[in-house]
Structure 1
Amino acid sequence: MMGETVIETGRLIIREFVPEDLEALYRIYESADTRFLQPLSEDREEELEKLKSYIQYVYGFYGFGLWAVCLKETGALIGRCGLQVMFIGDEGEYEMGYMISGAYQGMGYGGEAVRAILEYAGEELEAPRVVLRIDSGNTASLRFAEKLGFHKSDRILENERSTFLYIYEL
């Protein structure tokens, strides 16, 4: 079973996750640099319940979230990318999140997915901007964000002193 397609690009299908994606998600986490990401649970049943809950409540409530990034040609799940609601102080922001499997990095898939989601944020959500939180030690992500046109904010995030805030104005 495939989740609902949200965005189609030249090479990618960006769609909602389904419970059947769980094993592929674990494989992606095993092949990617996940030091800066919240880890998946070691208990697969627990993670499956979290995924089902995410699908029901996050997609159900917001109509968007982190989505499955799949190759159009084969349908293979190669990452996840999307938007979440984040609060900075009492201001709600659209926060971008992304991760591409190590085996598929350096091929432009991440940039293709992020650009498509930025367009979605502007057109579908009428978002004024999208933000990224990036750990100061994550140099690859810092370079990636700048290459895509995100600009570093001077704002210091409370309780996240080692995290930079990047902003993309739509």
Structure 2
Amino acid sequence: MEYRKSSMENVMIETPRLILREFVPEDLAGLYSLYEESDTRFLEPLSENREEELEKLKSYIHYIYGFYGFGLWAVCLKESGRLIGRCGLQVEFIGEQGDYELGYMISGKYQRMGYGREAVRAILSYAGEELEAPRVILRIDRENTASRRFAEEIGFHLSPRKLEAEPNVLLYIYDL
């Protein structure tokens, strides 16, 4: 696995079939296409106002990547550069404890082809090797059975801890 060794400055990870890179403002149209191609019931929606969403994206790029050096990244096919998802880590506090939280989304057109698994495994390796994280967490809506099954297949285990502020959300943990 390669981390930040590409000739493209904003590439974070390269896998055999994917490039995971920081988003750029020019990805806005691709993000909207991604949401149009996918089941987004369990995700925060994009704004109907594209200018507003562009400002959010620019702010995310500046503040999140600028402060943490990581975040949710664009998942692109290596062969074509096409944006097919977003996947990455965010810092999340549950109670007093700060954790790295995984987030992932692969376009409905590209699901069941192993791209999600490839991207998530690369990010888990990044979390362990680059960030020296002891664990990664994942919050999944109780009704999102596909995502729950995927998380368990990857190696996450369901925590018995209940999230009081989010009663319909389950906490999954991946120990590194």
Opposite residue 160 of structure 1, the aligned amino acid is E
- Structure 1 CA distance for aligned equivalents of residues 143 and 133 of structure 2: 28
Q: Are the equivalent residues in 2 in contact too, given 1:3–1:17 (CA < 8 A)?
A: no
Correspondent of 1:81 among 87, 91, 102: 87
Aligned to 1:66: 72
Aligned to 1:169: 175
- Structure 1 CA distance for aligned equivalents of residues 9 and 73 of structure 2: 9
Q: Are the equivalent residues in 2 in contact too, given 1:134–1:142 (CA < 8 A)?
A: yes
Deviations 1:1-20 (A, max 9, x none): x7610000000000000000
Structure 1 outlier segments of 4+, above 6 Å: none
TM-score, normalization by structure 1: 0.98
Q: Does 2:18 align with 1:12?
A: yes
- Structure 2 CA distance for aligned equivalents of residues 72 and 62 of structure 1: 25
Aligned to 1:127: 133
- Structure 1 CA distance for aligned equivalents of residues 105 and 94 of structure 2: 22
**Given the superposition, is the C-alpha separation of residues 59 and 30 from structure 1 closer, same or farther in structure 2, using an over 3 Å criterion?**
same
**Given the superposition, is the C-alpha separation of residues 52 and 3 from structure 1 closer, same or farther in structure 2, using an over 3 Å criterion?**
farther
Opposite residue 78 of structure 2, the aligned amino acid is K
**Higher mean C-alpha displacement, 2-11 vs 75-84:** 2-11
TM-score, normalization by structure 2: 0.95
Correspondent of 2:44 among 3, 16, 38: 38
- Structure 2 CA distance for aligned equivalents of residues 97 and 3 of structure 1: 22
Q: Does 2:97 align with 1:91?
A: yes
Aligned to 1:47: 53
Q: Are the equivalent residues in 2 in contact too, given 1:98–1:114 (CA < 8 A)?
A: yes
Correspondent of 2:121 among 105, 111, 115: 115
**Given the superposition, is the C-alpha separation of residues 53 and 102 from structure 1 closer, same or farther in structure 2, using an over 3 Å criterion?**
same
**Considering only aligned residues, what root-mean-square deviation do their CA atoms show, in Å?**
0.8
Counterpart secondary structure, 1:87: strand
Opposite residue 30 of structure 1, the aligned amino acid is E
Correspondent of 1:158 among 158, 164, 169: 164
Aligned to 1:106: 112
Identity of aligned residues (%): 75
Deviations 1:36-55 (A, max 9, x none): 00000000000000000000
Counterpart secondary structure, 1:132: strand
Deviations 1:17-70 (A, max 9, x none): 000000000000011110000000000000000000000000000000000000
Q: Are the equivalent residues in 2 in contact too, given 1:40–1:47 (CA < 8 A)?
A: yes
Unaligned runs of 5+ in 2: 1-7
Aligned to 2:147: 141
Shift of 1:158: 1.8
